[in-house]
Chain A
C-alpha cells in the first residue's frame, strides 16, 4: 500500500543532508525510492567493501551499515521536522553472502512510530529480492533537535 512520504517538502530537504553523512559518502550509499514509512537504498559494489579477498564477498559490516542507515532513513519519511535518531539495538540475520560485482539494495520500513521510539525492519538483497542477503530489525530513540540546529539544514 503505497503512500507519499508524510511531508514531501521536509523529506526533500532532509534526505540529501542524511545521505551526505561522511560514512554514507565513504560507502557510496544512494537513496533510490521513498514512500510513507519506506525507503530503498542502493550500495554499488566496490573492491574496498570486500570482507574476504578469496571469495570477494562483501564484509558483513557493510551489510550492517546499509541496514542501519536504511532503517533510520525510513523513519524520516514519517517526520516533518529534523530530529536526532540514535540506534538503540540492531539485530541482523545473514541469510546468504552478498556476491561481488553486484549492487546491494536495502528496503527498510518503519512499522511503528511512538513519541520516543521508532521500530524498523529491513531486507537487503541483490538482483533477486526473493533471495534476500540479510534481514534486520532495529529500534531507535527519538530526540528533538534544537531549532537553531534544525534551521541550519
Chain B
C-alpha cells in the first residue's frame, strides 16, 4: 500500500474507495466517469443507509458523509492533494427528501490555494437539475 494517495484514473479512484476507505465501503460509495471526463460518485441504494423508515428516506448523515467523501476523492483525482485532505468545515443544504434510489454526486473545486481548497458538491437522484442536497466545504491539503 502506497503511503501516498496518488490516483491516475477514475478506475483507481473507484478501487481506492472500496479497498482503502472503510467508511466509504460501509456506505457503498463508488466512482464512475461522467460524460465530461470528471468523476461522478455513486451511492447505490441500500437499506442500511435509510433514516426514516416511514417515508422512506435516506439518512441525512449518509448524504452528508457521501458528499464529504466525494469532495476528498475529487481533490485526490484533480491532483490537488497527494495525502488525504482534512476537512475543516462542512455546510450542507437538504433540498429534497432522499428517496430509496441510487444517488449521484459531483464536485467542483471553487478555489484552491497552497493549503486550503474550497469545494462545492451536489447530490441528485433521477435528475441532476433537481438536486437533493448541495454542500460546500473547506479542506486542508497536506
Contact = CB atoms under 8 A, between A and B. Distances in A.
A48 B89 contact: no
A54 B3 contact: yes
Contacts of B91: 89-92
Interface in B45-89: 47-55, 59-62, 64-66, 68-69, 84, 86-89
Interface residues of B, number: 39
Contact of B59 (A51, A53, A65, A88): A65
Contacts of A52: 21, 84
Interface string B92-119: 1110010000000000000000000000
A22 B68 contact: no
Contacts of B26: 26, 48-49
Interface in A4-63: 21-26, 47-54, 58-62
Consensus secondary structure, chain B interface: mixed
Contacts of A89: 91-94
A86 interface: yes
B20 A53 contact: yes
Contacts of A23: 48-51, 59, 61-62
A65 B89 contact: no
A102 interface: no
Nearest to B140: A94
B133 to A, nearest CB: 9
Interface string B20-53: 1111111100000000000000000001111111
Contacts of A62: 23, 65
Contacts of B22: 47-51, 53, 59
B94 A60 contact: no
19 contacts: A21-B52, A21-B59, A22-B48, A25-B48, A49-B26, A50-B21, A50-B23, A51-B21, A51-B69, A53-B20, A59-B21, A61-B27, A61-B65, A65-B65, A86-B97, A87-B94, A92-B91, A94-B87, A149-B54
Given A21-B50, A49-B22, A58-B23, 9 more contacts: A50-B21, A60-B87, A64-B64, A64-B65, A65-B59, A68-B60, A69-B59, A90-B92, A91-B90
Interface of A: 21-26, 47-54, 58-62, 64-69, 84, 86-94, 97, 145, 149
Interface of B: 1, 3, 20-27, 47-55, 59-62, 64-66, 68-69, 84, 86-94, 97
